Amino acid sequence: MPAKPIIFSAAAALILALGGTAAAAAPSASRATCMLLSDLVMMQHQMRQFHEMLKTGNDTGEARRLRNWLVDHPQVDLRIRLRRAGMQSYERSTLDLITRYKSLLEIQRRHGRRKAAANAQRRGTEALLQVYAARIVPLPCNYVPPQGTAGAALSGLGKLKRLPQETVIAGSLLTLILGAAAAFVLQRLARRRLRLSRRHPCALPCILKCGDYRFEARIVDISRLGAKVRVGLEDGQTVPAIAGDVTAGVTGLPPVEAQALRQDHDYVGIKFAKRLSRGQLKTLLKRNAAQTVEPDAAVSTA
C-alpha cells in the first residue's frame, strides 16, 4: 500500500477523533450549565417563598426548605460552577443574595419573623431578589456566554492577561533590590544584636541587693544587656534564692536596676532593666584592666 494514503488515513482518523472529543465535551458543558441555571432558578424561588412567609406570617416550612437548599449548595461550589460556565457577571449578585438570606434566616430563628421582615425591608432585599430573578429566569437551558467572557479557560478562572516585557523586567529587578535590601537590614540587625550580647570576662567587685539581702559579689562577665555575678559568702554558707528585681552597685556607675533570671549555686545571671551605653561598658572594662595590671606590677617590683 502506498505511503501517502496511509498518512492521509491517519490524519483523517486523528481529525475525527478530535472532532468527536470536542462534540462530546460540548454536550457535557451544556448539561452542566443547564443544571446550574436550574439550581439558581430554584434558589430564587425558595428565597421568594421565604420572603412571602416573612410578610404574611403563613409558615409552611419555607425557612426549613431554604436552609436545606443553602446547606446542599455551598457558596464555594456555586462560585466554581459559575466561573466554569463563564457566568462571572452573575457571581457577585448570587453570593450577595445568599449572604443576605443566610442573615435573614438567622435573625428569624433568633428574634422572630417580624424582626427579619423589618431587616429585609430596611436593606431592600426583596428588590434585589426581583432584579436577580429578572436576569436569571429568562436564560435558556443551553445558555452560552458571549465569546471573550472571562471564564472560558479550562480552569474556569478566565484568561490571564499577558504582562508587558518591560513590566516583567522591572518587577524582577525590584524583587532583587528588595531582597538585597532585606538581607542587608537583617545582617545589620544580627551584628547589632551580637555587639549588644557580646560577653566580656572580668572581675569587678559589686554590691548586689535583693530585697532585704545585701551581698558582696563579683561580676565575672558582662555585656551591655546583662551580667553574670558570683556572690561571695563565707565557706559553708548557702546562698539564698535570688530572684526578681535586684540592684547592682558598681564603683563609678549609679545603681543598676536588673532582674535575676537564673541562679546556679553562687552564680546569678542578671538582665539589666536598661542596657548599658558603650561608654559605661568601656569604663567598666578599663577599670577591670587596671585592677588586673596593678597586681602584676606589684609582683614585678618585688
Joined grid coordinates for residue 251: 564603683
pLDDT tens by residue, 245-270: 888 888 878 888 998 888 888 888 88
Burial 45-70 (b: 16+ CB within 10 A, else e): ebbbebbebbeeeeeeebbeebbebb
Reported as a pLDDT band with limits 50, 70 and 90, residue 197 is low
At the topology level of CATH, where does 198-301 sit? Answer: Thrombin, subunit H (2.40.10)
User: What pLDDT sits at residue 88?
Assistant: 85
Query: Which backbone phi and psi does 229 adopt, to 5 degrees?
Result: -115, 140
Planar angle of CA 166, 169, 172, nearest 5 degrees = 145
Distance CA 88, CA 80 (A): 10
Yes or no: say if 132 and 58 are a contact pair by the CB < 8 Å rule. Answer: no
Q: Calculate the CA 78 to chain-centre distance.
A: 26
Alpha helices in 57-164 (DSSP H): 62-72, 75-84, 91-111, 113-123, 125-136
Yes or no: say if 246 and 212 are a contact pair by the CB < 8 Å rule. Answer: no
Burial 133-166 (b: 16+ CB within 10 A, else e): beebeebeeeeebeeeeebeeeebeeeeeeeeee
Max mean pLDDT among 44-48, 156-160, 265-269, 278-282 falls in 44-48
Beta carbons within 8 Å of 257's beta carbon, 6+ residues apart: 245, 246, 247, 272, 273, 274
